[in-house]
């Protein structure tokens, strides 16, 4: 995904384990869970930039439906 930034995040192992369990419960990766929580916190604090892109959709992409050829 173009335009995404990466950086190293150091966490207490117990916090990391709890985060991974929570992410698994929500069917997200640990990275996606961190981004979800950061965005939610920024939004609640009124600090989420308006130019921030949308979170990528979870799960499989929808199937493309081909129009029927009835001619």
Quickly state the pLDDT bin for 69 (edges 50, 70, 90): low
Residue 39, SS3?
A: helix
**Per-residue confidence (pLDDT) for residue 3, from 0 to 100:** 76
pTM reported for the whole predicted model: 0.71
Rg (CA), the chain: 17
CA 66 to each of CA 63, 69, 70: distance values in angstroms, whole numbers, following the listed order? 9, 9, 12
> Per mean pLDDT, which range of 4-8, 9-13, 22-26 is the poorest?
4-8
């Amino acid at each position: 995904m173009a335009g995404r930034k990466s950086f190293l995040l150091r966490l207490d192992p117990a916090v990391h384990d709890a985060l991974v369990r929570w992410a698994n419960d929500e069917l997200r990766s640990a990275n996606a869970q961190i981004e979800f929580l950061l965005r939610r916190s920024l939004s609640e604090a009124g600090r989420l930039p308006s130019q921030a892109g949308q979170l990528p959709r979870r799960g499989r992409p929808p199937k493309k439906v081909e129009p029927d050829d009835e001619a």
